[in-house]
Chains A and B, each alone.
Chain A
Amino acid sequence: MPALPSRLCGPETPDLIRNEVLADLFEATAARIPEKIALIFAERELSYTQLNAAADRVASRLIAAGVRPGQIVGLWLPRGIDLLVMQLGIAKSGAAWLPFDADTPVDRIKVCLDDADGAGLVTVADIGALGRRCWLAADLLAPHPEPLLRRRDSAPTDPAYVIYTSGSTGKPKGILINQGAICHFLRSENAVLGIAEEDRVYQGFSVAFDMSFEEIWISYLVGATLWLAPREVATDPEALPAALIDNRVSVLHAVPTLLALFTCDVPGLRLINLGGEACPQAIVERWARPGRRVFNTYGPTEATVSASLAELQPGQPVTIGRPLPNYGLLVIDAAVENGLRLLPQGETGELCITGPGVAAGYLGRPDLTAEKFLANPWPTSGHESRLYRTGDLARIDEQGQIHCLGRTDDQVKIRGFRVELGEIEAALTRQPGVGTAAVILRQDEGIERLVAYLIADSGEATSSPALRGALVAALPPYMVPSHFEMLDEMPRLTSGKIDRKALRTRPLELPAGAPGDSDSPETPAEEILFAALARLFPGQVIRREADFFTDLGGHSLFAARLASSLRQEARFAGFSVRDIYVHRRIGLIAEALGATAEVSFDAGASEWLPPPAHRRWLCAIAQAFVLPPLVGLRMGQWLAPFFTYHYFTGDPDDSIPLAVAISVSVFLVATLLSFIFAILGKWLIAGRLKAGSYPLWGLTYFRWWCASRLIEGAPAYMLSNSPLNIWWLRALGARIGNETIIGNVTLRAHDLLDVGNGVSIGNAVNLENARVERGQLHLGPIGLADDVCIGSYAVLEGHTAMDRYAHLEAQSALGEGLAIPPRRIWLGSPARDVGEFDPASVPPRPEVSETRLAREGLFYVLGMLATAALFFMPVFPSFMLVDWLDNEPNSLPFPLQLFKYFALAFPGTAVLIVGTILSSAILRWTLMPRLQAGSWPVHSRVYCSRWLVNQIQESSLNILHGIYATVYAPFWYRLLGAKVGRDAEISTAQGLVPDLLTLGDETFIADAVMLGDEEVDAGWMTLKPTVISRRSFVGNGAYIPDGTVLPENVLIGVQSRAPANERIKSGDTWLGSPPINLPAREQTAGYPEALTFRPSRLRRLGRALVEAFRIISPHALVIAVGYTVVLNVMPLTDAGRWQDVFTLLSVAGVLFGISTIVFVAVLKWLCIRRYKKHSVPMWTPFVWTSEAITSLYVGMAVPNLMNYLRGTPWLPVALNLLGCRIGRGVYLDTTDVTEFDCVRIGDYSELNGLACPQTHLFEDRVMKIDMVSIGKRVYVGPRTTVLYGAVVGDNVRLGPLSLVMKGESLPAGSRWHGCPAAPAVR
């Protein structure tokens, strides 16, 4: 069967061909639906009547000016309603319009108007340079006296519009379309599209592009409403879809490129008509859906807008469909010089169009017209007498669908505009300095753009900015290439033609510009940056406006290499790869680089000389002499009442109540004496210390150390938050104003604290104004002006100041040399300004009378003594029990006595502990009022109650500290009034207000957590309820602000601060201060719930037994030692040898202190041997044993001996005995070590107060243990924690309150600070 010819005809529909002009179409609609809205632009709407009337005035004035059918009038206005009114006005005058895009240069307008012999230009301002008449829109629209002039004798053969397309010879060519052709097209296309009166149609095309007829004039034909987008919306692919949705647009005509850029769907679109360029398949897949029709139209301007149309279906290839009604399409052999030959269907050839839309030809270009418009040798009807050769390659498939396959010549379409590349090339070659030019269309980011390749003319220089400037002045913007590239040689085919294919595949050199076009560096930062870039991108042009990623082609590895190479310069060591990502452009990166604060990789870090060994050991010997009296003093505090009680008992006629009374009095006197000794000793030994730096292990250091240990020997916790604390600190040399409240703080150099009036300092604040760094003791002043407030758990170093009303929030660190300005609030580690404090935001401080102050003073003194005495009482029943059990005292040798009393002391201690629990519970539930949430003045009964509750808690914990982190802890807290859920784990929580605390089931409170302590500021105390919900976890040293409500399953990390309630969601993980939300967390999997959350009864029992032992044994040991000593010393008293009694008691005290560490060490080596890297679930004997040893260490060895060894060369020795590996000359002001074998500290490192190598964490109830490795000569600031798995290199400096994360490795010589630790920037 012979193949069918490549020829398709649209439906024959003669009734679409009528005797009418554009104005008739509109007027018929305006008469039919006068009140219908025709146009909407921003806030302005025009009905068909209003639009008709306005256009009538324009037409009348144009007619009056002599405009007639057959004439051509230029139309050049910005987008908007006026443009469409003018267009309609010209139509109504019977003339044709020649539209120009708003961006068209005047030169081109002149060329076109001259070419078309236009009658004038309708525009917004008079343009003298045109040499033609200009009608201004404002004038044409002005009110018009009746009668109006109307067109006459207009006919379908009159021209309707002229559109210029670019011509390959460099001269644009005008296509003239007559009224009949365009009217027919509108009816013909809409016979398929079916746009209706109810539609809202988007008007987005420039009127210089003939697809605008589909928008504007099909709407006029059917009476639809047009919505015009403002220019900024029309070009914004993000704003446009939103605007289409907002304005309920139902019909969209668009080029596929625009649609592809839309960021979201427009559900209201029922019809999308694409045209102007090839339509990618993906568009159909994305946009076609039930209830929406998507069309692809095809047609050259020469055949009146469109000639064929396809309805696109997902999954089917995109074609240009079939001819519109009355149109015909043919595929002929492109080699027309041998005569026209219709190809068989399926073959590829040049597409030709026949039908009533075919234009008469090009204006004034008979040669070109003859070439493209030919007589049709295969007519089937009268209007098919001519055909137009499109120059497009096409093929008709078996289904009769036409596939468009590109161009037969160099014509391209860009953004819907048809462009002859030759015209641009011609314009380029007219520029000085350009020899040969080739322009091609390339795809970039799915958007087409023109790229010009140039060969420079010998001698003359040119640059892309100059070329661009010249072209912008001569060509419409869409014809100006986006990029210009200079070539040494133009690739050519053997025919001599430019090889455009080679150009198209050639990698583009970006940014635009010839080699040598690089900017020259102007700043030092630019010099470094440009040099680094030149190494990274050899031969590429480096310009300030170039984007590192898109223009230079950088990717992440390049960015990393760039940042690394920049950091080689010490000056730019603080530069981060992030700066490249944030700034992107080379110029901005250079600015960022210039602004990079220098991170100091301090050369001095490895240069300081450690103090000589002889000085260290001299100091050590001196300290060794001081240690026995210091330890003895502490022992005396409890041995004295112990001795007294036994001195007055034992004989049958002795009065036990009297003995108890005398013993308690001795205890109170001893307590008071410890304060007095501390004050006297401090002034005698240290005197008034001055700010400055003193050699470590030197004389001043020794004096400071002695005074510090003496001061710490006094139970100052009993004074906190009361005026007694102020008196105490003043007595030690601090200057403190009135109405100041200071919690249980650590203060290292009392003489250097200056506090104004009305200051509030929270609980467990560390005033670390003495620290050791690089072999020097640095003493610095802290100045706090009036009304300053410091939150709990804050750290201040020396040489810091806070001005009036300055606030340092809880868990924040104010490092040396920093000062907070007045009324500013600083937060975080390191502290940063977070806002202004408004003194008016707190109620005024209530007046307080002198008598009230005096009464309160008495209350606090008596309260302190009473609680101290009361919680000493439970020892007596335990003495009595031991005495009763011990029927033959003093009959055994000394060591056996010790064992005997240790055994006997167990029941006695049980009595002690039960007694303590009972007395605190009785006090709590009888005398004390329940605390309520709210605010109270610090001079109020509620404040005093809170203080007393805290006293009871603290005093009882003196006996009960072993209860922390045991299965007994929840019961104890319930007894105090807290609501504690099932299986909660509570370690050493501080500051909590039991009445206002709720702990959910299976919550976990790790060590040293500050849990909802009251806030005191400006004379007011605020109490809020604090809630930790089910399965939430609070890490070591974390701070939970009062009033926090943690939802379920939240994790607050080590040394972190809980965020504001509204920021926390269930399941969150928060870390650091200020806290950052980590989106997800490590899950420890693989352990059965029986070992984590759901232990068996047997495991519960096992743990309870181990923990009972650990709670009781420290006290049992104390009692055993006490009994043994007292019974052996007692005979001396009978002999009146009181001096020997005191000496023996002191020696016994020191020996006891030493024995505690031996006891812990022996127990540790017996039970654990060596700690190593390990993960163990919580409900296992290993964890109980390990925790018991930690508890005994903290409860026995630390207070009785280790604390006194802080700051001596003996502490590393003692810790090494327990398994640590601590090098020579290490300064340790901390005893916070748990898994001893996992701690390694290199020579001459310095760990300041409360610093902590944290060798274990409980995560999801699994204990993970790993090494902490600290190098040589490392400085660790106060309260800084190094988590397990971390490796701190030699000579590293860690600032205060920093947190080195798990597994982190800090390179040698680097400086870090913050929580979590980050490189420190100076």
Chain B
Amino acid sequence: MTIEPLPVPRWPACRDPGRDLLVVAVDTPDSAMRDVARRLVRAVLREILGPLEFVSRPGQAIRPVNRESPVGISVSHENECSLVAVNFSGPVGVDLLRLPDRPDWQAEIPALAETYLGPGDAREIAGRPSHERVACFARAWTRHEARLKCRGLGLEEWGAALEELLSPCRVRPLLLPAGYVGAVATLRVAEIPAL
């Protein structure tokens, strides 16, 4: 079963009132320094969230001030583009990766996939022709990161216990401009605690 990629509108965008999940792309400077990007993202979040206050501290995931709030927020930055994901009915995780033109770490991909993504993805990536491997890895990586962020977990070595934790996540690829790969994860509807 293939899952439809989710289109990502460029900010400013409107929230479809029928959907709880909103993912937007925010243009940011071409810089690895994220200060400007973070500011822009916070401004976008303020517009999306309105009166809902959130906490944003470097090194920590953005979250609503009110811990009881069902609203999930997730942000991912790359040079020239940041993704802002807001789920009004539960946790969310989003991840963005800019595909490098010629990654100097292509040789590391099998080991990285085996260690962090688990045997399933590792097999999938290894089975691809070499020119597709980076993109395949990037897709798997963003899927994995999005799920980790959705569960509020940091990156760790893959393990079955981790997979158990991640298993309730529903992850969708994102439709992004060429050169970017991204994914968004939410909890399956059945897993969202009753409000």
Residues of B within 8 A of A578 (CB): 154-157
Contact A549 B167 (CB under 8 A): no
A residues in contact with B167, CB < 8 Å: 1081-1082
Interface string of A436-449 (1 = CB under 8 A from B): 00000011111000
- Which residues of the other chain, A, contact B151 by a CB distance below 8 angstroms? 1079
Is B73 positioned at the interface, with any CB of A under 8 Å from its CB?
no
B35 and A445 within 8 A (CB): yes
Task: Write out the residue numbers on chain B whose beta carbons fall within 8 Å of the beta carbon of A1083.
Answer: 168, 188, 190-191
Tell me the residues in window 1288-1319 of chain A with beta carbons closer than 8 Å to chain B beta carbons. 1300-1305, 1307, 1316-1319
A576 and B116 alpha carbons, distance in the complex (Å): 11
Chain A: minimal CB distance from B75 (Å): 12
Contact of A1079 among B32, B163, B165 (CB under 8 A): B165
* CB-CB under 8 A for A282 and B43, given A446-B38, A1304-B160: yes
CB-CB under 8 A for A577 and B116, given A263-B65, A446-B38, A1083-B190: yes
Q: In the assembled complex, which residues on chain A have CB atoms less than 8 Å from the CB atom of B7?
A: none
A451 to chain B, nearest CB (A): 11
Which of A263, A547, A1071 is in CB contact (< 8 Å) with B164?
Answer: A1071
Residues A549 and B47 in contact in the complex (CB < 8 Å), given A577-B156, A1307-B114, A1316-B160: no
Encode contact with A along B99-126: 1 for CB under 8 Å, 0 otherwise.
0000001001001101110111000000
A171 within 8 A of B: no
| A581 within 8 A of partner (CB) | yes
Cβ contact within 8 Å between B108 and A1302: no
Q: How far is the CA of A282 from the CA of B105 in the complex (A)?
A: 41
B39 at the interface (CB under 8 A from A): yes
A581 x B154 contact (CB < 8 A): yes
- By the criterion CB–CB under 8 Å, are A564 and B112 in contact? yes
Across the interface, name the chain B residue whose C-beta is closest to A1285. B160
Contacts of A1303 in B (CB 8 A): 119-120, 160, 163
Smallest CB gap from B65: residue in A: A264
A442 CA to B31 CA, complexed, in Å:
14
Say yes or no: A265 contacts B53, CB within 8 Å. Answer: yes
Q: Which of A280, A560, A1082, A1302 contacts B160 (CB 8 A)?
A: A1302
Question: Do A560 and B155 have beta carbons less than 8 Å apart?
Answer: yes
Report yes or no: B42 in contact with A446, Cβ–Cβ below 8 A.
yes
Cβ-defined contact, A507 with B39, below 8 A: no
Q: Chain A, 267-282, contact with B by CB distance < 8 Å: what is the 0/1 string? A: 0000000000000111
Expressed in whole angstroms, the Cα–Cα distance for A497 and B195 within the complex equals: 61
Partner of A1301, one of B53, B155, B161: B161
Who on chain A is nearest to B169 by CB?
Answer: A1080
Q: Tell me whether A1300 and B160 are in contact (CB under 8 A).
A: yes
The answer to whether A1287 and B36 touch (CB under 8 A), given A507-B31, A581-B154, is no
- Is the pair B105, A285 in contact by a Cβ cutoff of 8 Å? no
**Chain A contacts of B112 at CB under 8 A?**
557, 560-561, 564
Contact partners of A1316 in chain B: CB under 8 A: 159-161
Q: In whole angstroms, what is the CA distance A705 to B36 when docked?
A: 72
Bound CA–CA A47/B118 (angstroms): 69
Q: A559 to B168, Cβ gap below 8 A?
A: no
Interface positions, chain A 506-559, Cβ under 8 Å from B, are: 507-508, 510, 547, 549-550, 553, 556-557, 559
Q: Which residues of B contact A446 (CB under 8 A)?
A: 35, 38-39, 42
List the B residue with the shortest CB-CB distance to A559.
B155
CB distance from B51 to the nearest CB of A (A): 8
A1072 to B32 alpha-carbon distance, docked (Å): 42
**A1302: chain B residues within 8 A (beta carbon):** 160, 164
Q: A505 contacts the other chain (Cβ, under 8 Å)?
A: yes
Q: Is B17 at the interface (CB under 8 A from chain A)?
A: no
Is A1078 interfacial (CB 8 A cutoff)?
A: yes
> Complex Cα distance A557/B115, Å?
12
A1085 at the interface (CB under 8 A from B): yes
Point out which of A549, A564, A578, A1286 has the most chain B C-beta atoms below 10 A from its C-beta. A564
**CB proximity of A696 to chain B, nearest CB, Å:** 30
Q: Known contacts A508-B33, A1082-B168: does B190 contact A1301 (CB below 8 Å)?
A: no
The answer on a CB contact under 8 Å between A1318 and B159 is: yes
Number of B residues, CB within 8 Å of A: 49
B31 cross-chain contacts in A, Cβ below 8 A: 505, 507
Give A261 Cβ to nearest chain B Cβ, in Å.
Answer: 9
Assess whether B25 is interfacial by the CB under 8 Å rule: no
Q: Kindly report which residue of chain A lies nearest to residue B46, judged by CB atoms.
A: A282
Is there a chain A Cβ closer than 8 Å to B94's Cβ? no
Interchain CB contact (< 8 A) of A549 among B43, B59, B145, B165: B59
Residues 583-616 of chain A: 1 if any B CB is under 8 Å from the residue's CB, otherwise 0? 0100000000000000000000000000000000
A1170 partner residues in chain B, CB cutoff 8 A:
none
User: How distant is the Cα of A1083 from the Cα of B169 in the complex, in angstroms?
Assistant: 11
User: Is A286 engaged at the interface, CB distance under 8 Å to the other chain?
Assistant: yes
Known: A285-B50, A547-B59. 5 other contacts (CB 8 A): A264-B53, A442-B35, A444-B35, A1083-B191, A1301-B164
**Interchain nearest-CB distance for A358 vs B (Å):** 35
6 contacts between A and B (CB under 8 A): A507-B33, A561-B112, A578-B156, A1072-B161, A1080-B191, A1081-B167
Give the CA-CA distance A553 to B37 in the complex, in Å. 13
Shortest Cβ distance from B167 into A: residue? A1082
Cα–Cα distance between A442 and B36 once the two chains are bound (Å): 9
Interface presence of B29 (CB below 8 A): yes
| Distance, CA A1301 to CA B32, complexed state (A) | 39
When distances are taken between beta carbons in the complex, the residues of chain A under 8 Å from B35 are: 442-446
Cβ contacts A67-97/B at 8 Å (1 or 0 each): 0000000000000000000000000000000
**Contact A1085 to B118, CB < 8 A, known contacts A264-B53, A508-B33, A1079-B151:** no
Is B13 at the interface (CB under 8 A from chain A)? Answer: no
Check if B171 is an interface residue, CB within 8 A of chain A.
Answer: no
Once the chains are docked, how many angstroms separate the CA of A444 from the CA of B31?
13
With A1082-B167, A1304-B159, A1316-B161 known as contacts, the answer to whether A564 contacts B58 (CB < 8 A) is no
Q: In the assembly, what is the distance between CA of A1032 and CA of B164, in Å?
A: 19
B163 touches A577 (CB 8 A): no
B168:A561 contact, CB within 8 angstroms: no
Query: Which of A442, A507, A557, A1078 is close to B32, meaning CB atoms less than 8 Å apart?
Result: A507
A445 touches B33 (CB 8 A): no
Asked whether A564 lies within 8 Å of B111 as measured between CB atoms, the reply is yes
Residues of chain B contacted by A549 (CB below 8 angstroms): 59
| Nearest-Cβ distance from residue A617 to partner chain B, whole angstroms | 37
Q: In whole Å, how far is B49's beta carbon from the nearest beta carbon of chain A?
A: 9
The smallest C-beta distance from A989 to any residue of chain B, in angstroms, reads 25
Question: With A264-B65, A550-B59, A578-B154 given, is the CB distance from A1078 to B165 under 8 Å?
Answer: yes
Q: In the complex, A576 Cα to B154 Cα: how many Å?
A: 12
CB distance from B146 to the nearest CB of A (A): 11
Question: Which B residue sits closest to A1287, measured CB to CB?
Answer: B119
Bound: A1281/B50 CA distance, A: 52
Cβ-defined contact, B36 with A443, below 8 A: yes
Measured CA separation A563–B154 after assembly (Å): 14
Question: How close is A1141's CB to chain B, nearest CB, in angstroms?
Answer: 57
Give the distance in Å from the alpha carbon of A1120 to the alpha carbon of B97 in the complex: 71
Q: Which partner residue on chain B sits nearest A442 by CB separation?
A: B35
Task: Give every chain B residue within 8 A of A281 (Cβ-Cβ).
Answer: 43
Q: Which residues of B contact A1082 (CB under 8 A)?
A: 164, 167-168
A589 to chain B, nearest CB (A): 14
Within 8 A of B (CB), among A378-432: none
Residues of B within 8 A of A1072 (CB): 161
| In the complex, chain B residues 6-31 whose Cβ is within 8 Å of any chain A Cβ | 29, 31
Which among A1076, A1081, A1082, A1305 has the highest number of chain B CB atoms within 10 Å? A1305
* Contact between chains at A561 and B157 (CB < 8 Å): no
